[in-house]
Amino acid sequence: MAAPKVAVVGAGVIGLSTALCIAETCPSCSVTVLSDQFSPNTTSDVAAGILIPHTYPGTPIHVQKQWFKETFTYLFAISNSAEASEAGIHLVSGWQVFRNTPKEELPFWSDVVLGFRPMSEAELQKFPQHQFGQAFTTLKCDCPPYLLWLEKRLKASGVQMYTRKVADLWELHSEYNIVVNCTGIGAHQLVGDEKLFPVRGQVLKVHAPWVKNFIRDGDGLTYIYPGIHRVTLGGTRQKENWSLFPDPGTTKDIFDRCCSLEPSLRGAQDIKVKVGLRPSRHWVRLQREVLSQGGVKLLVVHNYGHGAGGFSVHMGTAKEAARLVGECIAALQGTSSRAKL
């Protein structure tokens, strides 16, 4: 059969990394990325991009750990290369602090990040409201540069990218053999996924170059993540809130909460407010599906619903999606060889 044509719908971090994995693992494919929005206008552009996993209640822990490990290994290699600055990836050390000792003192990912350990008494003195903490080094992605770096890699691999609004996956059946759905919150409307819901995130991007360490409250709501050029302050987790407009009261609340963890932030300059809708489900939808109309079939692979944890697992889930695309190609080739007989 002719080279299989694969369309990846969506150009956030999940779509771009999935397209790259498909292009690298299935070199006989022709891969195209279709999206109505590219960077800097994707949800991923708003993300803090720090590798601290979010837990999916409906996904086995060993699977989540594998996704995180594959992503960490991939980004760690980039952070140790000459491309680190262009890709916006760097190591960052810091603290996760708790008002009360958590039930789980060793999270499932503690042996993937670097140097994970309980905080010392001396370190905890910096956080008088908190009585327990963990110190470790992880990776931070500055999202807009990372997305542009992925786009550059895709172009070098021969992947085409087009701005196009896809209203129904079936509209692609005459042009492509396989469609990969990486539309994030867009899947709510595109495939009518009622299990998918927005969790609104509002963050501040500030100029505070003296802040070098990340600080994260154990509840995950308040965090300070230094990037290469700006520090991300957060945040919110507002379920079922579809508003993309910044809320001034929320901005003040985030700023005050972060200043209580790091008082020097009162001197932060040039505060920009960003809002994104995290595509949340109880588990990532990572599966094959066959759509059919009138005897005509379209093979689909879904990879969406990463919620707040997309950056932490994006390369792990991209590799799994690429493997499912490989299965689809094998199925197509099997059908094609049977047709010749």
pLDDT in tens, 218-237: 888 999 999 998 999 999 99
In a domain, 208, yes or no: yes
pLDDT per residue as tens digits for the range 233-276: 999 999 999 999 999 999 999 999 999 999 999 999 999 999 99
**What is the mean pLDDT of the segment spanning 192-198?**
96
- Tell me if 103 is assigned to some domain: yes
| 183 is annotated as contributing to ligand binding | yes
Q: How close are the terminal C-alpha atoms of the chain, in Å?
A: 13
- What pLDDT is recorded for position 334? 78
Q: Could you give the number of structural domains in the chain? A: 1
What is the chain's mean pLDDT, rounded?
Answer: 94
* pLDDT for res 341: 42
Q: What is the largest CA-CA distance in the chain?
A: 75
Whether 341 is covered by a domain: the verdict is no
Please give the pLDDT value at position 337.
56
3-state helix/strand/coil string of the chain: CCCCEEEEECCCHHHHHHHHHHHHHCCCCEEEEEECCCCCCCHHHCCCCECCCCCCCCCCHHHHHHHHHHHHHHHHHHHCCCCHHHHCEEEEEEEEEECCCCCCCCCCCCCCCEEEEECCHHHHCCCCCCCEEEEEEEEEECHHHHHHHHHHHHHHCCCEEEECCCCCHHHHCCCCCEEEECCHHHHHHHCCCCCCEEEEEEEEEEECCCCCCEEEECCCCCEEEECCCCEEEECCCEECCCCCCCCHHHHHHHHHHHHHHCHHHHHCEEEEEEEEEEEEEEEEEEEEEEEEECCEEEEEEEEEEEHHHHHHHHHHHHHHHHHHHHHHHHHHHHHHHHHHC
71 marked as binding residue: no
Cα 185 from chain centroid (whole Å): 12
Asked whether residue 44 is marked as a ligand-binding residue, the answer is: yes
Asked whether the predicted pLDDT for residue 338 surpasses 70, the reply is no
The CA distance from 147 to 16, in Å, is 7
pLDDT score at 220: 86
Taking the model in full, what pTM does it have? 0.94
Residue 140 lies in a domain: yes
Say which CATH number the domain at 251 has: 3.40.50.720
Establish whether 164 is an annotated binding residue.
no
Task: Examine residue 147 and state whether it is found in any structural domain, yes or no.
Answer: yes
Distance CA 242, CA 77 (A): 36
Cβ atoms of 233 and 256 within 8 Å: the answer is no
Distance CA 199, CA 47 (A): 12
Q: How far are the Cα atoms of 116, 127, 128, 130, 144 from residue 98, in angstroms, in the given order?
A: 15, 9, 11, 5, 31
43 is in an annotated binding site: yes
The arithmetic mean of pLDDT across residues 22-33, rounded, is 94
227, part of any domain: yes
Residue 340 in domain: no
Alpha-carbon gap, residue 306 to 289, rounded angstroms? 19
User: Residue 335 burial (CB < 10 Å; 0-12/13-18/19+)?
Assistant: exposed
Give me the domain span that covers residue 328: 5-335
- 55 labelled ligand-binding: no
